Amino acid sequence: KAGVTQTPRYLIKTRGQQVTLSCSPISGHRSVSWYQQTPGQGLQFLFEYFSETQRNKGNFPGRFSGRQFSNSRSEMNVSTLELGDSALYLCASSSVDRGRDEQFFGPGTRLTVL
C-alpha cells in the first residue's frame, strides 16, 4: 500500500501571499489530520477532517483552513502568510476502525515564508 503523499515537498512564498498544500491519504483511510512543526512551538495539531467535515480544530487563527474531498484527499490553505508560518506541515491519515485508528504521517511540506 502506498503511504501518505504530500505535495509539494518544498515551497517558498512571500509575506501576504496565500498557499495551498495537498495531502493524499493511504487508500481506505477516511480521516486526515494536519500538523504544524516548528523549532519554537514543536508539533501542533491544526485540524482533522473526516467524511468531508472538520471534526476537530486546534488553536490556530482563521487564516488556516482546510477541506476534504469525497475521495478523502485533503488540502489546507494559509492566507496572508506571515514569517512565523514558516514550518514543516505534516499530514496524517488514519482508518476510523476501532483499534486501528493510529495515524500514519506523510513526509511533510516545508514552507518557507520570506
Site residues (vs another protein, CB under 8 A): 4, 31, 33, 35, 42-45, 48, 55-56, 58, 90, 92, 94, 99, 101-108
Nearer to another protein, 14 or 110 (CB): 110
Smallest gap, in angstroms, from Cβ of residue 43 to another protein?
4
Nearer to another protein, 23 or 78 (CB): 23
Nearer to another protein, 80 or 99 (CB): 99
Q: Please enumerate, as own/partner, the contacts of 55-63 that have beta carbons within 8 Å and a separation of 24 or more.
A: 55/31, 60/36
Q: At 68, which amino acid appears?
A: Q
